[in-house]
Amino acid sequence: MSIKYCDQHKDCERQRLYRRFCAGLAALILLALLIVLIVWLLLRPSKPRFYLNNLDIVCINVSSSAALSVTMQATLAARNPNARVGIFYDRADVYAEYRGLQVTVATALPPMFQGRGDATVWAPFLSGAGVPLPPYLATALAQDETAGYLLVTVRVDGWIRWKAGAFITSHYHLRVRCPALLTVNDGQGSYGSNAGGGVGYFKFNRAAPCIVEV
Task: Give the count of beta carbons closer than 10 Å to the beta carbon of residue 129.
Answer: 12
Comparing C-alpha atoms, which of 89, 107, 210, 79 is closest to residue 152? Answer: 210
Question: What pLDDT is stored for residue 64 in this prediction?
Answer: 87
Q: Round to whole Å and give the CA distance between 144 and 157.
A: 27
The CATH number that domain 49-213 falls under is: 2.60.40
CA distances (Å), origin 171, targets 15, 72, 160: 39, 30, 6
Q: Which residues make beta-bridge pairs with 167?
A: 164
CA dihedral for 111, 116, 48, 39, sign (positive or negative): positive
Side-chain half-sphere exposure of 58, counting CA atoms within 13 A: 11
pLDDT tens digits, the chain, 214 residues: what are they? 555 555 555 667 777 777 888 888 888 888 877 776 666 656 678 999 999 999 999 888 889 899 999 999 999 999 999 998 999 999 999 999 999 999 999 999 999 999 999 999 999 999 999 999 999 999 999 999 888 899 999 999 999 999 988 888 899 999 999 999 999 877 776 654 444 455 568 889 888 889 999 9
